[in-house]
Amino acid sequence: MTISILGINHRTAPVELRERVAFGPVQLEQALSEIKQLPGIEEAVIVSTCNRTELYCHGHAEHQPLLHWLAQFHGIGPSELEQHHYFHTQEDAVAHLMSVASGLDSLVLGEPQILGQVKQAYQQAKHFSVVGGILERLFQNTFRVAKAVRNETEVGQNAVSVAFAAVSLAKHIFGDLKHSNVLLVGAGDTSELVAQHLVQQGVSSLSVANRTLQRATELAQRVGAEAHSLSQLGELLPNADIVVSSTASTLPIIGKG
């Protein structure tokens, strides 16, 4: 019996490919059910974020069938993933998971969001009854290791996240952000973190545009912004000094048009 992981991330694949193999919330139940039915697989957890998609399995998971399943599920050819994926087993798989959960394998070193995302992935797999004793112990130990890394090292000492990096870049370009008009496209967790950092920098002119106006309104109320629908982007963009786009869309929201 082995623990294995097959995945792609920001180090191995371009963003276009990562977007094509990402799992949306509505796909997870079907995906986990299908993985569980693959020969030899007894347990599974899917970690899927903007920077990575990883399949953690316990059993006798074979490399190529797992790769072909991932490609088939998303309607792409296995050859497109061949040069961009990785496959680890046993100690290497365990070390990789702990590195991911600790923020050591992130685009921004030490960013804290990934631990919450790994925990959520584990809880979702548990909810759909595809986690048993082995992955249960693995993930619980991983959470303890990640907590120890945070508490006993300096990796989490500074506020590092993609959201923080985006605001830091804007501040580097503009200097004082107090007089900047900022537009957030998307109303998810990352956009909320960006908004919080912007408010801390004194930004007062903040707008949120989202596919669902209700979500935009809820976020806008929490951070003191104006809410808009995506259909209003054409009017909002010319007046924005800074635009931060963070959505779950598989296609660019802001294109050449």
Residue 50 CA, distance from chain mean position? 4
pLDDT for residue 256? 65
Domains of the chain, start order: 2-152 (3.30.460.30), 162-245 (3.40.50.720)
pLDDT for residue 251? 73
From the first residue on, what is the mean pLDDT of each consecutive set of 10 residues in the chain (257 residues)? 91 88 91 93 93 94 93 94 94 96 83 88 94 94 93 71 78 80 86 84 87 88 88 88 82 73
pLDDT for residue 98? 96
Q: Is 50 a catalytic residue?
A: yes
The phi-psi region of residue 59 (left if phi > 0; otherwise alpha if psi is between -120 and 50; otherwise beta) is left
pLDDT for residue 81? 94
Exposed / middle / buried, residue 92 (Cβ in 10 Å: 0-12, 13-18, 19+) = middle
pLDDT for residue 83? 93
Catalytic residue among 5, 6, 50, 198: 50
